[in-house]
Amino acid sequence: MTCTTFRVAATVLATLTTLTAPATAHAQQTTPIGARPSSTALRAHGTQSSGSDRMRGFMLGVHSIAAPGLTLGGGEVDGEFITKFGAGAGVTIGYGITRVFSGFASLDVAKQNTAADVEPAGSWGLSHFEVGARANIPLGTSSTVPYLTASVGRRAMAARTTNEDGEQFDSAITGPMIGLGGGIEHFFSQSMALDAGIGVGYGKFNNVKFGEEEYDPKANATTSIRLRLGVNWRPGGRRS
């Protein structure tokens, strides 16, 4: 009787051991509530934080631009003043207030020649100066950031021109503008990113100066487009 009881007890003990072994192993692998996270978890959290924090603070960008030509007409403009496609460069400074919203100021210049039979003929510098706001769109990954911009500013066209008599003089055409744009910023390191986008400026050129002559041409509103490709530096990403 005693031996039989011992064998039954041993069998029950072996069965319980077999059943509880997987549960014990699972419990050992699960981190208890309130336990300190592992270093791997801390590193993963730090990576996610840096993706957000690097959009804050100072930003400096340099870029090349491609600008289709402009057509200026109406009002006191004699016929149409037309320029051709040109390329140039620019610079942008900004400051990220949050990971979504930031402010910026931008200046770019593109070289454009006048079309055939346009007076005054010359090689014109088309410049845009803007001050505006940027909103990052929460799509994609932390390393790829789509965005939209809105701005106000001023456009100017300036050149050393030649009239039909062969005389040279300084010319300038200027006016206010509003701007809209968008693009994608893609980080290839913690603090450096490629920036590709488009900017559209709209407004009237309300001041023309040809040599000593200066007046408001009362011209029609025009739209200027710039395609942009450049690199942005965000030191906040390195700090993160």
The CATH number that applies at residue 206 is: 2.40.160.20
Q: Does residue 180 form part of some domain?
A: yes
Residue 215, domain extent:
46-239
Q: Which two tokens stand for residue 198?
A: 């488009």
Q: Is 29 a residue whose pLDDT tops 90? A: no
Q: Does residue 1 form part of some domain?
A: no
Q: Is 219 a residue whose pLDDT tops 70? A: yes
Going by pLDDT thresholds of 50, 70 and 90, the confidence category of residue 239 is low
Q: Does residue 198 form part of some domain?
A: yes
pTM of the model: 0.76
Count of domains in the chain?
A: 1
Q: Does residue 23 form part of some domain?
A: no
Going by pLDDT thresholds of 50, 70 and 90, the confidence category of residue 198 is very high
Q: Does residue 154 form part of some domain?
A: yes
Going by pLDDT thresholds of 50, 70 and 90, the confidence category of residue 38 is low
Q: Which two tokens stand for residue 73?
A: 């007409």
Asked if 190 and 240 touch (Cβ cutoff 8 Å), the reply is yes
Q: Does residue 179 form part of some domain?
A: yes
Q: Does residue 73 form part of some domain?
A: yes
Q: Does residue 159 form part of some domain?
A: yes
Please give the Cα distance from 155 to 222 (Å, whole number). 11
